[in-house]
Amino acid sequence: MWGVDALWNNASWDIAPLPVGHPDSAALLRAYYDDIVGRHHGRPVTDAELDEVLAEEPSDDLTAPTGHFLVGRYGGRPAGCVGLRVLDAETAELTRLFVRPEARGTGGGRRLLEAAERAAREVLGARVMRLDTRGDLVEARALYARSGYAEIPDYNGARYAEHWFEKRLDERTREKIREKEDRPSRPRGR
Protein backbone atom coordinates (compact mmCIF):
# COMPACT_ATOMS: atom_id res chain seq x y z
CA MET A 1 0.00 0.00 0.00
CA TRP A 2 2.78 2.46 0.88
CA GLY A 3 5.73 3.03 -1.35
CA VAL A 4 8.94 4.88 -0.76
CA ASP A 5 7.57 7.74 -2.86
CA ALA A 6 4.88 8.60 -0.29
CA LEU A 7 7.24 8.52 2.63
CA TRP A 8 10.34 10.25 1.30
CA ASN A 9 9.57 12.45 -1.70
CA ASN A 10 8.49 15.67 0.01
CA ALA A 11 5.19 14.22 1.20
CA SER A 12 3.24 16.35 3.64
CA TRP A 13 0.30 16.05 5.99
CA ASP A 14 -3.15 17.38 5.14
CA ILE A 15 -5.69 17.13 7.98
CA ALA A 16 -9.40 17.76 7.56
CA PRO A 17 -12.75 16.76 9.08
CA LEU A 18 -14.31 13.60 7.67
CA PRO A 19 -17.44 11.76 8.83
CA VAL A 20 -16.69 8.63 10.88
CA GLY A 21 -18.87 6.65 8.47
CA HIS A 22 -16.71 7.52 5.45
CA PRO A 23 -14.76 4.49 4.14
CA ASP A 24 -11.39 6.19 4.85
CA SER A 25 -12.43 6.93 8.44
CA ALA A 26 -13.76 3.41 8.96
CA ALA A 27 -10.52 1.88 7.62
CA LEU A 28 -8.41 4.08 9.91
CA LEU A 29 -10.54 3.25 12.96
CA ARG A 30 -10.22 -0.45 12.17
CA ALA A 31 -6.43 -0.05 11.83
CA TYR A 32 -6.36 1.91 15.12
CA TYR A 33 -8.08 -0.90 17.01
CA ASP A 34 -6.00 -3.55 15.24
CA ASP A 35 -2.91 -1.74 16.53
CA ILE A 36 -3.93 -1.08 20.13
CA VAL A 37 -5.76 -4.37 20.74
CA GLY A 38 -2.88 -6.32 19.18
CA ARG A 39 -0.40 -4.47 21.42
CA HIS A 40 -2.56 -5.21 24.46
CA HIS A 41 -2.74 -8.94 23.68
CA GLY A 42 0.81 -9.19 22.33
CA ARG A 43 -0.39 -10.96 19.19
CA PRO A 44 -2.22 -10.27 15.91
CA VAL A 45 -5.93 -9.59 16.31
CA THR A 46 -8.53 -11.69 14.50
CA ASP A 47 -11.22 -10.11 12.33
CA ALA A 48 -13.85 -11.36 14.80
CA GLU A 49 -12.05 -9.61 17.68
CA LEU A 50 -11.85 -6.41 15.66
CA ASP A 51 -15.55 -6.56 14.82
CA GLU A 52 -16.34 -7.11 18.50
CA VAL A 53 -14.28 -4.16 19.74
CA LEU A 54 -15.70 -1.87 17.05
CA ALA A 55 -19.20 -2.81 18.23
CA GLU A 56 -18.26 -2.32 21.91
CA GLU A 57 -16.50 1.02 21.27
CA PRO A 58 -18.59 2.83 18.64
CA SER A 59 -17.38 6.14 17.25
CA ASP A 60 -20.83 7.46 16.26
CA ASP A 61 -20.58 10.27 18.84
CA LEU A 62 -17.50 11.76 17.15
CA THR A 63 -19.75 13.96 15.03
CA ALA A 64 -21.61 17.22 15.64
CA PRO A 65 -22.96 18.17 18.07
CA THR A 66 -21.31 15.64 20.42
CA GLY A 67 -17.89 15.46 18.77
CA HIS A 68 -15.64 15.88 15.77
CA PHE A 69 -13.46 13.56 13.68
CA LEU A 70 -10.35 14.41 11.65
CA VAL A 71 -8.44 12.36 9.10
CA GLY A 72 -4.83 13.04 8.20
CA ARG A 73 -3.53 12.25 4.75
CA TYR A 74 0.17 11.85 4.19
CA GLY A 75 1.31 11.99 0.59
CA GLY A 76 -2.40 12.00 -0.33
CA ARG A 77 -3.12 8.70 1.43
CA PRO A 78 -5.23 8.25 4.61
CA ALA A 79 -2.54 7.84 7.26
CA GLY A 80 -3.96 8.94 10.60
CA CYS A 81 -6.99 10.06 12.54
CA VAL A 82 -8.13 11.68 15.76
CA GLY A 83 -11.51 12.15 17.41
CA LEU A 84 -12.99 14.64 19.84
CA ARG A 85 -15.85 14.04 22.22
CA VAL A 86 -17.72 16.75 24.14
CA LEU A 87 -17.60 16.04 27.89
CA ASP A 88 -19.21 19.30 29.06
CA ALA A 89 -19.60 22.93 27.95
CA GLU A 90 -15.88 23.65 28.43
CA THR A 91 -14.21 20.23 28.12
CA ALA A 92 -13.47 18.01 25.13
CA GLU A 93 -11.93 14.55 25.20
CA LEU A 94 -9.24 13.49 22.75
CA THR A 95 -9.70 9.95 21.49
CA ARG A 96 -8.57 7.59 18.73
CA LEU A 97 -5.33 9.43 17.93
CA PHE A 98 -3.62 7.12 15.46
CA VAL A 99 -0.91 7.19 12.81
CA ARG A 100 -0.44 4.18 10.54
CA PRO A 101 2.89 2.44 11.24
CA GLU A 102 4.10 3.23 7.70
CA ALA A 103 3.69 6.98 8.36
CA ARG A 104 5.15 7.13 11.86
CA GLY A 105 8.15 9.36 12.34
CA THR A 106 6.80 11.99 9.91
CA GLY A 107 5.33 14.35 12.53
CA GLY A 108 1.79 13.14 11.95
CA GLY A 109 0.96 12.50 15.61
CA ARG A 110 1.94 16.04 16.60
CA ARG A 111 0.09 17.55 13.63
CA LEU A 112 -3.06 15.54 14.37
CA LEU A 113 -2.89 16.57 18.03
CA GLU A 114 -2.49 20.26 17.11
CA ALA A 115 -5.39 20.04 14.65
CA ALA A 116 -7.54 18.38 17.31
CA GLU A 117 -6.72 21.10 19.85
CA ARG A 118 -7.62 23.78 17.30
CA ALA A 119 -10.90 22.02 16.46
CA ALA A 120 -11.73 21.57 20.16
CA ARG A 121 -11.38 25.34 20.64
CA GLU A 122 -12.85 26.59 17.38
CA VAL A 123 -15.50 23.99 16.54
CA LEU A 124 -16.56 22.70 19.96
CA GLY A 125 -15.78 25.79 22.07
CA ALA A 126 -13.70 23.79 24.55
CA ARG A 127 -11.24 25.43 26.90
CA VAL A 128 -9.88 22.17 28.34
CA MET A 129 -8.83 18.92 26.66
CA ARG A 130 -8.72 15.61 28.50
CA LEU A 131 -7.66 12.15 27.42
CA ASP A 132 -6.88 8.71 28.72
CA THR A 133 -4.32 6.20 27.53
CA ARG A 134 -2.64 2.94 28.44
CA GLY A 135 0.78 2.51 29.99
CA ASP A 136 2.16 0.52 27.05
CA LEU A 137 1.44 3.37 24.61
CA VAL A 138 4.68 5.12 25.52
CA GLU A 139 4.92 7.10 22.27
CA ALA A 140 1.50 8.64 22.92
CA ARG A 141 2.32 9.48 26.52
CA ALA A 142 5.57 11.15 25.45
CA LEU A 143 3.73 13.19 22.79
CA TYR A 144 1.17 14.39 25.33
CA ALA A 145 3.85 15.37 27.85
CA ARG A 146 5.85 17.27 25.18
CA SER A 147 2.64 19.03 24.12
CA GLY A 148 1.87 20.43 27.56
CA TYR A 149 -0.54 17.83 28.95
CA ALA A 150 -0.35 17.12 32.68
CA GLU A 151 -1.31 13.85 34.35
CA ILE A 152 -4.53 14.03 36.35
CA PRO A 153 -6.58 11.55 38.41
CA ASP A 154 -8.95 9.15 36.66
CA TYR A 155 -11.88 11.20 35.35
CA ASN A 156 -13.80 8.55 33.41
CA GLY A 157 -13.26 5.05 34.82
CA ALA A 158 -12.28 3.76 31.36
CA ARG A 159 -11.68 0.01 31.47
CA TYR A 160 -8.23 -0.11 29.86
CA ALA A 161 -6.93 3.36 30.80
CA GLU A 162 -3.91 3.66 33.10
CA HIS A 163 -3.03 7.33 32.60
CA TRP A 164 -5.22 10.44 32.34
CA PHE A 165 -4.11 13.83 31.03
CA GLU A 166 -5.47 17.35 30.79
CA LYS A 167 -4.45 20.58 29.09
CA ARG A 168 -5.90 24.11 29.08
CA LEU A 169 -6.43 25.19 25.48
CA ASP A 170 -5.74 28.89 25.78
CA GLU A 171 -3.40 30.87 23.53
CA ARG A 172 -0.79 31.50 26.26
CA THR A 173 -0.24 27.78 26.78
CA ARG A 174 0.27 27.27 23.04
CA GLU A 175 2.73 30.15 22.86
CA LYS A 176 4.78 28.84 25.83
CA ILE A 177 5.09 25.42 24.17
CA ARG A 178 6.10 27.00 20.85
CA GLU A 179 8.73 29.13 22.58
CA LYS A 180 10.21 26.02 24.23
CA GLU A 181 10.32 24.15 20.91
CA ASP A 182 11.86 27.11 19.05
CA ARG A 183 14.55 27.76 21.68
CA PRO A 184 17.91 26.41 20.46
CA SER A 185 19.35 23.73 22.66
CA ARG A 186 22.66 24.55 24.29
CA PRO A 187 25.42 22.02 24.73
CA ARG A 188 25.83 20.99 28.34
CA GLY A 189 29.09 21.83 30.08
CA ARG A 190 31.26 19.16 31.61
List C-alpha distances in Å: 15 to 71, 72, 115, 159, 172. 6, 4, 7, 30, 24
User: Range with the lowest mean pLDDT among 21-25, 30-34, 85-89, 173-177?
Assistant: 173-177
Cα–Cα distance for residue pair 106/165, rounded to 1 Å: 24
Query: Which pLDDT score, from 0 to 100, does residue 189 have?
Result: 43
The verdict on residue 90 lying in a domain is: yes
**Residue 6 forms part of a structural domain:** no
Report yes or no on 144 lying in a domain. Answer: yes
Q: Is residue 95 domain-resident?
A: yes
Q: How many CB atoms are located within 10 Å of the residue 37 CB?
A: 19
Task: Please indicate, yes or no, if residue 116 is contained in any of the structural domains.
Answer: yes
52 is a domain residue: yes
66 pLDDT tier (thresholds 50, 70, 90): very high
* 157 touches 144 (CB < 8 A): no
CATH number assigned to the domain comprising residue 41:
3.40.630.30
Q: Does 47 fall in a domain?
A: yes
Give the number of domains in the chain.
1
Residue 164 has pLDDT above 90, yes or no: yes
Note whether residue 3 is domain-resident: no
Task: Tell me the residue range of the domain where 176 lies.
Answer: 12-182
